[in-house]
Structure 1
Amino acid sequence: MEDSTAQTERYFAPQFMCIYDVLESENDRDRRRFWVRPIFSAEMRFLQGASDNLISEMELVDNEKYVNYFRMTPKLFNQLLSLCEAGLTKQTVVRDPIPAKTRLQVVLLYLASGDSMTSISYAFRIRHNTVTKIIAEGCNEIWRCLKDSAFLTVNTNNWKSLANSFQEKWNFPNCIGAIDGKNVVLQAPVNSGSTFYNYKGTHSLVLLACSDAHYRFTLVDIGAEGRRSDGGIFRTSNIGQRFEEGSLQLPLPRSIGGNDGPILPFVLLGDEAFALTKYMMRPYPRSSALNRTKKIFNYRLSRGGRVIQSAFGIMAAKWRIYRRPIIASVPTAIKIVQATCCLHNYIISHEAVLPATQRFYSTVTTEERSAGCYALLDIDNTGSVS
């Protein structure tokens, strides 16, 4: 005779498994009871979403707040939309896709506000995972549409134009740009170890950029690990290698003081992190033994070189995604940086024709108004320097 306990287990086990399967299938149905949550439906998006309500209202009655919301005027937004609309438009399969206009609004608000993707999801009544895809695809599309027109076209005439602007605005001759790197702080990437860990104690990737005299980026290298130095990144980057090869069509050296003045090459302005080369000018090493001439040279170089720092500052102030660690994968973070660099140049270039008082994105500083390019002309009368 079999043990009664064994008979009981054999008798109840099949019934128990059946009950468990029923409960599990009911739980699965509960988890999948929504194809789309009601608050994210197309109807609620139209009735309560920011795109068809708040944004439309600001566009009609309050352009100032619209600019604060998207960092550009409605006219400039529509121009950008016309460039990106084809790449942002999706085909209709089962449901009507989210319009390209709404997709671009999601991307711009994310970059301009620095809010989380979850907050953007609730504001626009779009699912979180859809918002994530929209931001990645939208940033990539902005980069694809603007990169050819927003950045410098490399040729001799354009380099000369940049140098003339630096001479006029910052009183530094034969300067074709200021170069520096910016650490873009990230949430620590998965399994990255110390690869992106920088000297500031954060995880970051590096935006290495050159700026013209008007705070626009001319050349950019994006994606280097935060642990690397600016000089090392430049040396191994495509930009640095092309400068080294001489393939960027730099103008021939020219005189800086009339026919009798010294003939000097065209150079970038960098800080101590960069090596001194025939195309890179850096300050004299910091020392109490510097004479007056060297101190004046360092001052003039730093005055021209700070343009790139100002460009980074303008971009970070306007696109507040840089005010906190970017919570995204490294490829998506690179797309975000690419998009903001393009938008930074795009807006400044379109506002350049406006008076300073009508510019929403960047304005002339008080120092520039009062001093202009003549701030250093009376440097000999500023006091004795040992």
Structure 2
Amino acid sequence: MRECISARDRLTVTLRFLATGESYKSLMFSFRIGHSTISQFVPEVCTAIYNSLKAENLKKWNLPNVLGAIDGKHIMLQAPRSEGSTYFNYKGTHSIVLLVLVDAKYKFTYIDVGCNGRVSDRGVFASSTLSHSTKTNKLNFPAEQPLPRRTKPLPFVIVADAAFPLSYNILKLFPFRNMSEHQRISNYRLSRARRVVENAFGILVNRFRILLNTINLKPDKVETITSAWLALHNLLITKNISNYRIYNDDIDRRYILRYGLSQQVGNRSTKDSLNNRLEFMEYVNGVGAVASQNSLL
């Protein structure tokens, strides 16, 4: 018979697990609740946390027309023996992949979690709803507009590293071989924009330090728990934003990527994507230059 545990106690135990990563056995002795009972209600409470917070909390950094930065992270786990090498990643561990889009306030505005660790960031993105929505122009991106003191209309974009595909709404670094000085400066500025996603991961891991270790749970439960971590992270960021330094030079806060769909014109060609990147490069090397960019090359 399942133990009768109050909702408050279930939440307390779950938050303790999320914050400390204590084993179910340790929690059993601390709270005098059976191991099997804890293993049942922790994923249930995590799902409830995610579902109650995602609508509000899961829905531009010196570079205009940028809506967010995208990246992936491996969540290490103890893979079931029956899965063989399914979850084995290039780092030599077993994991599921967390793909996120982060805004300028270190909040996760899009998540995709659960793909096995063998798949690259590019592969995870290719199968994601975010990729499908950008390809079919169904995200409610703001209308194109020129960069400051420029004339060519440009789309609003998501910045990404070299692992992701260049597209009309995905702006990535130039290839690293034989770059010109202007291309190196452009990559530096894009990297500055991208650091917000690295900062968000850093805050997340330091807040929930179990993420530094291998999680001894099945992949589906790790997926559920990870979603709860992200929702709680966003809630805490929202409530305590003054505790975090936001790199918001010249940020245009009128534009925030939100949930919702709106049909736009059809797909753009690779040539358009390359031309857009060149326009960004000309901007950061011209009227959009910052004092530090040349000294740091």
Shorter-chain TM-score bucket reads: 0.7 to 0.9
State which of 31, 35, 47 in structure 2 corresponds to 1:140: 47
Alignment of 1:56-205 (within 5 A): 97-152=4-59, 166=60, 170-205=61-96
Contact 1:106-1:134 within 8 A present in 2 as well: no
- Rounded Cα–Cα distance in structure 2 between residues aligned with 1:106 and 1:329: 19
How many pairs align? 260
2:292 counterpart letter in structure 1: I
- Aligned residue number for residue 48 of structure 1: none
- Aligned residue number for residue 252 of structure 1: 143
Q: Which runs of 4+ in 1 moved over 4 A?
A: none
Alignment of 1:1-386 (within 5 A): 97-152=4-59, 166=60, 170-258=61-149, 260-287=150-177, 289-352=178-241, 356=242, 359=243, 363-364=244-245, 373=249, 377-379=290-292, 382=295
**Partner secondary structure for residue 87 of structure 2:** coil
Question: Cα deviation per residue 1:92-118 (whole Å; 9 max; x = unaligned)?
Answer: xx97x2121111111111111121111
Question: Cα deviation per residue 1:49-86 (whole Å; 9 max; x = unaligned)?
Answer: xxxxxxxxxxxxxxxxxxxxxxxxxxxxxxxxxxxxxx
**Partner secondary structure for residue 191 of structure 1:** helix
Give unpaired runs (5+ residues) of structure 2: 251-288
Structure number with the higher helix fraction is: 1
Structure number, greater radius of gyration: 1
- Rounded Cα–Cα distance in structure 2 between residues aligned with 1:236 and 1:382: 40
TM-score in terms of structure 2 length: 0.82
Contact 2:166-2:172 within 8 A present in 1 as well: yes
TM-score in terms of structure 1 length: 0.64
- Rounded Cα–Cα distance in structure 2 between residues aligned with 1:176 and 1:142: 26
Question: Cα deviation per residue 1:248-282 (whole Å; 9 max; x = unaligned)?
Answer: 12122101124x43321111111111111001111
**Partner secondary structure for residue 173 of structure 2:** coil
- Rounded Cα–Cα distance in structure 1 between residues aligned with 2:294 and 2:201: 33
1:144 counterpart letter in structure 2: N
Give unpaired runs (5+ residues) of structure 1: 1-34, 36-93, 153-165
1:219 counterpart letter in structure 2: Y
1:189 CA drift (Å): 2.0
Question: Cα deviation per residue 1:337-359 (whole Å; 9 max; x = unaligned)?
Answer: 1100100111111223xxx3xx4
1:320 counterpart letter in structure 2: R
Aligned Cα root-mean-square deviation (Å) = 2.1
**Partner secondary structure for residue 218 of structure 1:** strand
Structure 1 vs Structure 2: percent identity of aligned residues?
Answer: 37
